Structure 1
Amino acid sequence: MSVQVLASGWTDSGSLGYPVLFGGVLLGSIVPVVPTGPLLSVAAAVAMTTDRLDIVLVLLLAVLGAFVGDVVTFAVARFGGPAAVRWVSRRQHADRLAEVRRQFAAHGWQIVVVGRLLPAGRIPVLVTAGALAYPWRRLLPASLAAATLWAVAYALLGVVSGGIFDDPLVATLVATALVLLVGLLSNRLAARRRRKRERSS
């Protein structure tokens, strides 16, 4: 995919999905107010059912937006001091942050990757990594791998719905429903694991 194709797709009024996707994923990766997973799945579904978006560009921009957003969040937590850590983690439960802090030293980069994929796991992981001054040389490749796995997983939901349904609206609705279902199942599994740990402790 050439730079000219990317530039024309970015500025074409019929392909405004590219900047919306990148900006939404980037913003949602820094401030959790944008549902980045559904946004990516919808973009992938549109790419599969229309010629307005290219699935490869959708995937690449999602990876880039997620990676840059996670690095920014980590940098704020690492260099911003206690006030910055409190600001980044203001909507996170204290017990969740404490749990991640205990596990971080033992598992390292694996937690960075898994935290990206688990609901409500990314920010506690990145805040803890920043507060513990986790090395950049380990954070960057782990964060890139995490962003890639996350983007592939959510793009696949859109690809599946777009491959089944020709109507972009139907594919978009199905992709959104699949994302919500995956999130619900993940939350229930995480809650069950927490209850088991509490009973065993």
Structure 2
Amino acid sequence: MNWTDPAAIGYPAVFGGVLLGSIIPIVPTGAVVGAAAAVATTTDHLSLPLVILLSVLGAYLGDVVTFGIPRLGSEAAFRWISRRQPAERLERARDQFTRRGWQLVVIGRLVPAGRIPVLLAAAALSYPWRRLLPAALVACVLWATAYALLGILSGGIFDSPLIATLLATVLVLLVTVALNLIARWRRKTKERV
């Protein structure tokens, strides 16, 4: 492996960063995708389609692991979650997953801090693998595309890969903060009603 070749570092960093951040949310995965897309847009070191593909694969595998671990021990996971929730709330959640689980999985992936609670709830409520896998794939494609577009936007504004990468990271963080503020506002509005 040639460590002076940016692709030799870039592609594994994109895949590994997104995979790790999808399992253990310590890596800002959206920023990884946006920054890699910005580099792909402003240089010939990375291929944009490959960045998106590796982002989708890393996110998908991470989501499958995040769902799979509690799903395999679904009785214990359900007992752990049910200790903290009223029975009527659990029944309502089970009903929502029965009626529109694929939508919850997709929206959970797109909303900051929504993915892990949705996947854990789906696993604890024994949401079927045959429904989760295609929904998670669609969610990961939409997610990777959205964050890559932020990177493309920043790469289109600046020719410098460094500035484009920084702008992509800032854009991703701003979008994340804005979505969190909107979600918080909606929760408070619902609580008042």
TM-score by length of 1: 0.84
After TM superposition, give the deviation of residue 101 of structure 1 in Å: 3.5
Match of 2:178 in 1: 185
The aligned counterpart of 2:65 is: 72
Task: Tell me what 1:129 maps to.
Answer: 122
**TM-score (norm. length: structure 2):** 0.87
Q: Residue 167 and residue 86 in structure 1: after superposition, are their counterparts in 2 closer, same or farther (change >3 A)?
A: farther
C-alpha distance in structure 2 between counterparts of 1:121 and 1:112, whole Å: 9
Task: Write the deviation string for residues 141-166 of structure 1: whole angstroms up to 9, x where unpaired.
Answer: 00000000000000000001001100
Amino acid at match of 1:75: G
Q: Which runs of 5+ in 1 are unaligned?
A: 1-10
Which amino acid in the other structure matches residue 22 of structure 1?
F
Q: Which runs of 5+ in 2 are unaligned?
A: none
1:62 matched to 2:93: no
- Larger mean CA deviation between 125-134 and 78-87 belongs to 78-87
Report the secondary structure of 1:108's partner residue: helix
Conservation of the 8 A alpha-carbon contact between 1:77 and 1:126: no
1:112 to 102, 105, 111: 105
> In percent, how many aligned pairs have the same letter?
61
Q: Report how many aligned residue pairs link the two structures.
A: 183
| Counterpart residue type for residue 108 of structure 1 | G
Whether the 8 Å CA contact 1:76–1:84 is kept in 2: the answer is no
Q: Distance in 1 between matches of 2:11 and 2:77?
A: 31
Equivalent of 1:158 in 146, 151, 172: 151
Instruction: Classify the secondary structure of the residue corresponding to 2:126.
Output: coil
Change (3 A) 1:86 1:122: farther
1:173 corresponds to 2:166? yes
